[in-house]
Chain A
Amino acid sequence: MMESLLQPWPWYVSGPLIALTMIFLVFFGKSFGMSSNLKTLCSMGGAGKYADFFKFDWKSERWNLTVVLGAIIGGFIAVRFLSDGSIINLSENTITDLNKLGFKNLGATILPPEIYSWDAVLSLKGIAILVIAGFLVGFGTRYAGGCTSGHAISGLSNLQLPSLFAVIGFFIGGLVMTFFILPLIFNP
């Protein structure tokens, strides 16, 4: 039991548990949406002075910021106490493709050092990657009206057509980046 807890969890365990996260929040009278916190944090920081979009009572969203705080703690607990250091079991094709792009030690860490190590980040290219990626995520999610939790999980579960459009968008963008842009950025 403890052993399987420490190993990576299969999709048929993780997926239902993600649904359970949403179900908990719905039972608590709220909804599952992680990107709303970005808007709340902007509002907390005084963005309401610049755009009406941020003029709302951010205190009513403190519950969601608490979820974020919990998620950070959960991330810490998972790697500190619930991991056996397993390498991510990526498919052979993924390993071949990423080797071609110059990625090494695939799956030994959660994130590739080629993007997230300080060595990589503290170069013009490295910092540009994270800044541009983050910006697109923050801008796009608000424009689309939600992210993976709000649209892909909650929205599709609730048969929301706007969410289907958003998820189609997620894939258009994701496929363009993965198939056409990543090979230009990582070109060893």
Chain B
Amino acid sequence: MKFLKFLGVGVFFGIVLVKSEAVSWYRIYEMFKFQSFHMYGIIGSAVTIGLLFFLIAKKLQLKSIEGQVINPAEKDKNYKANILGGTIFGLGWALAGACPGPMYILLGTGVFSILIAIAAALLGTFVYGLLKDKLPH
């Protein structure tokens, strides 16, 4: 039962991303070409609402249903890794036209060839795990 709410959030997320067209390769291309406001509007408004939410949550000391005060984890400060890894990710994002969330969602839309990209993404994650200690962080 406790997993049902997560299933629900996933369904919601999947529908929103398809209806927003953010799962479309074409929209990602258009974004990186700065030829439409669409994707910037999506990301910008999501971040704006998110910012307001965290400000309010902190101010009011809102609690999660688990009873803990909402206090999102700080991201690890590995700036070299953030920018190098981010660049590698960006190359793949613009080529596949999909980041991890959309990859799963696209599978649901019936594009089964995306399984190849998902399998390769798993391999990429695995190889990162093997090389982690040898990479600059």
Contact = CB atoms under 8 A, between A and B. Distances in A.
A70 B92 contact: no
A157 to B, nearest CB: 3
Contacts of A175: 32, 90, 94
Contacts of A181: 91, 95
Contacts of A98: 26, 29
A139 B128 contact: yes
A31 B72 CA distance: 8
Contact of B24 (A88, A139, A168): A88
B60 interface: no
A58 interface: no
8 contacts: A26-B70, A30-B6, A34-B104, A39-B129, A51-B132, A137-B99, A139-B125, A168-B86
Interface of A: 8-31, 34-35, 37-39, 41-42, 45, 47, 50-51, 53-54, 62-64, 66-79, 82-83, 88, 90-91, 93-94, 97-98, 106-107, 110-112, 115-118, 121, 127, 129-149, 151-163, 165-179, 181-182, 185
B110 A79 contact: yes
Nearest to A74: B14
Contacts of B77: 161-162
Contacts of A162: 75-79, 82
B115 to A, nearest CB: 9
A80 B7 CA distance: 18
Interface residues of B, number: 112
A42 B122 CA distance: 7
A165 B97 contact: no
Contact of B47 (A34, A112, A142, A156): A156
Top 6 A-B residue pairs of the complex, sorted by shortest distance between their CB atoms = A70-B10, A74-B14, A169-B86, A173-B90, A138-B124, A75-B108
Given A97-B33, A111-B97, A142-B125, A135 B46 contact: no
A13 B42 CA distance: 8
Nearest to B49: A19
A134 B121 contact: yes
Nearest to A79: B109
Given A71-B10, A90-B36, A134-B96, 8 more contacts: A8-B21, A130-B113, A135-B127, A136-B91, A144-B89, A154-B50, A157-B54, A158-B72
A137 B72 contact: no
Interface string B62-78: 00111010101111111
